[in-house]
Amino acid sequence: MDLMSSNQSKYHHIVITAAFLAVIVIWSTTPIAIKWSGEGVSYIFGIVMRMSIGAILAITLVLLKYKKLEMNRASRQVYIASALAIFGGMMPVYWGAQYISSGLISVIFGLSPIVTGYFAWRFINENGFNKLKITGSLAGLIGLLIIFYKGISAGEDYIYGVLAVLSAVIFHSISAVWIKSIKTEVPPLSLVAGGLLFSMPMFFTVYLIFAPPLPEEIPLKAIWSIVYLGVVGSVFGFVSYYYLLKHLQASSVALITLITPISALWIGHAVNDEIISVSIYVGTTFVLMGLVLHQGEDLLYKKLWRKRKHFYG
């Protein structure tokens, strides 16, 4: 029994590690894929096709694994909350990607743990804001203001792009807190499938109202980017993320946001020749500093508490 338990523990550790690395890779490459998916076509076409592919795949996997997608009252509530993150968190990003770099999108999204932490403290009484967390939040705000300052010389479109992605962060954070406040056990795959299903009417409505006619030829780069985002970004990325939230502390999962802004900036510069200005470097430094201060206190406290318990027996 001990050997079996040890093997299960090792397997569980391997799965968590794989999911953690997968989320880092997916979140690092998603911003550049979003930009590429809108090349030669409308960004609305790109996001609708991505979400359609993701919805079909996720629902198919749910039916194969669980035979049905639960539709009780609590499940519907959590699907609606997930749909808020999918629609409200993605549509502004796609719009903003027309005006700002892919790396900058990831940097701004790096603020999500701070925004989520505030909403969780304000509405579901989680982890009160102490001096260290407030200092971290202020550092993140300073980083955002530095990024905004660049927009004064870059033009209005740049500022609008930053504001759009910032609104996506707010919707994403509200959704995360809302999901956590709903007392129901929904498997990560079902949560993604339900969220995609409930968000599709909103995406189709936007498409019918605003999408321009399709071009005669769709660039191959856009097609492959849409497929990647639909399969990997919308399904495997979300499932891996919700799996980590289920099995790890939220503060541990938030460490991903310390890695992806840097990796996304590098990827955008390396594969898309995106220029990284000094102000973006400085702003990114403040954002990461804010995340370290905001999240590091939880990790340090837990480590010291474990040592204290071990010392005193």
List CB contacts of 288: < 8 A, sequence separation 6 or more.
Answer: 110, 143, 258, 261, 262
Q: What is the full per-residue pLDDT of the chain (313 aa) written as tens digits?
A: 455 555 566 766 788 888 888 888 998 899 999 999 988 888 999 999 999 999 999 999 999 999 899 998 888 999 999 999 899 989 999 999 988 888 888 888 878 877 887 888 777 776 666 677 777 777 777 877 777 666 656 667 888 898 999 999 999 888 888 888 887 788 888 999 999 999 999 999 999 998 788 778 888 999 999 999 999 988 888 888 878 877 776 656 766 777 788 788 888 888 888 777 777 778 778 777 777 776 665 555 444 444 444 433 4
CA triple 130-165-220, angle to 5 deg: 140
- CB 140 within 8 Å of CB 294: yes
Kindly state whether residue 24 falls inside one of the protein's structural domains: no
Residue 300 in 3-state DSSP?
Answer: helix
For residue 30, tell me if it sits in a domain: no
Residue 10 lies in a domain: no
| pTM for this prediction | 0.81
- Is 282 contained in some domain? yes
In a domain, 25, yes or no: no
Domain span at residue 154 reads 46-312
Residue 17 domain flag: no
Alpha-carbon Rg for the chain in angstroms: 20
| Domain total in the chain | 1
Q: Is residue 127 part of a domain?
A: yes
Residue 229 lies in a domain: yes
